[in-house]
Amino acid sequence: MPSTIPALPFYLLAAAIVGGGVMTLFSRNVVHAAFWLLEVMVAVSGLFLLLSAEFIALVQLLVYAGAVAVLTLFTVMLTLRRREDALRPLDASLAAAGLAIVFGIVTAVAIGGFSPAVAKMPAAAPGIVQFGGELITRWALPFEVASVVLLIALVGAVWWSGGEDEDR
Amino acid sequence: MSITVGLREFLILSAVLFALGLYGALSKKSAIMILMAVELMTNAVNIALLAMNRFLTPMLMTGQFFAAFIMVVSAAEIGLGLALVLALYRRTQTVEVDRIDRLKG
């Protein structure tokens, strides 16, 4: 297990993430935005691998790059009547930009106040085996609650998006 | 490769991604774009959690479990959110949030 994180892959992934995020928000075409979001998700998964969180990286690929991206694309295509509907105005908002910039500055100041003494990384990190062991022992109850949440979300999503005949 | 990055770089990346998502969620008029921006913010939070976990308490793995459960909640949220968008589209023929104003008096 490496005890440091090399700068080159980090900055490559960071550029992919930030660039993809900007392209997601500023592409005129909704379908292109969904594909840029997919690119961001894959890059974030690489970042998780860099942080030696293998299981989370795999789940990120499966859930976000797999399921969420496909779901988003399906919804985009189901809500477009004509091809031209995919092109949208940029929806620029000065107030939202101001709020986001204020948030960024405040967070940057808070991070800057963080002492660099904690920047040293512990060499050892537990692997995917320890993660699984902990998940079904110490985290068993949240794990089961999570499965119930997913079941309810599944039923609710089917119910909400169901056919016309059960219109309320 | 002697140049390395620390916790601070990860946290700054997370803050930048969160600010981007915040801007998108507040400024976009399409409900689908708003949900996509919310996903960006969720990913930013997960980056911060996993970086904290790796640099501060890697043996406890608390950050990894929190990230996993955040992913569960976020998957449920995007599934329900997109189902809601579809149901709204079927009734109002639009996904523009400023045209869905049936509660306006």
Residues A54 and A111 placed together within one structural domain of the fold:
yes
- Give the count of beta carbons closer than 10 Å to the beta carbon of residue A80: 15
Residue A43 corresponds to which tokens in the numbers above?
Answer: 């890059």
Residue A150: domain span: 127-163
Q: Closest chain A residue to B27 measured between Cα atoms? A: A93
Residue B43: domain span: 7-99
pLDDT of residue B58: 83
Residues A103 and A138 placed together within one structural domain of the fold:
no
Q: How far apart are CA A60 and CA B72, in angstroms?
A: 11
* pLDDT per residue as tens digits for the range B23-46: 999 999 899 999 999 999 999 999
Task: Identify whether B104 is part of a domain.
Answer: no
Strand partners, B96: B30
Contacts with B33 from chain A: Cβ below 8 Å: 25, 30, 33, 88, 91
- Domains held by chain B: number: 1
Contacts with A93 from chain B: Cβ below 8 Å: 23, 26-27
Residue B92 corresponds to which tokens in the numbers above?
Answer: 């109002």
CB contact (8 A) between residue B8 and residue A119: yes
Asked if pLDDT for residue A148 goes beyond 90, the answer is yes
Residues A53 and A77 placed together within one structural domain of the fold:
yes
Task: Identify whether B105 is part of a domain.
Answer: no
Query: Mean pLDDT throughout A144-160?
Result: 93
CB B28 within 8 Å of CB B34: yes
Q: Choose the most confident range, by mean pLDDT, from A42-46, A87-91, B51-55.
A: A42-46
Q: How far apart are CA B70 and CA B76, in angstroms?
A: 10
Task: Identify whether A18 is part of a domain.
Answer: yes
Residue B32 corresponds to which tokens in the numbers above?
Answer: 């689908």
Contacts with B5 from chain A: Cβ below 8 Å: 5-7, 10-11
CB contact (8 A) between residue A56 and residue B11: no
Task: Please report, for the domain that includes residue A50, its CATH number.
Answer: 1.20.120.1200
CB contact (8 A) between residue B23 and residue A100: yes
Residues A46 and A26 placed together within one structural domain of the fold:
yes
* Residue with the larger pLDDT of the pair B45 and A164: B45
pTM (two decimals): 0.90
CB A125 within 8 Å of CB B64: no
Query: Mean pLDDT throughout B49-71?
Result: 90
Residues A155 and A95 placed together within one structural domain of the fold:
no
Task: Please report, for the domain that includes residue B69, its CATH number.
Answer: 1.10.287.3510
- Pick the range with the lowest mean pLDDT from A75-84, B20-29, B43-52: A75-84
- Domains held by chain A: number: 2
Query: Mean pLDDT throughout A142-166?
Result: 86
CB contact (8 A) between residue A153 and residue B80: yes
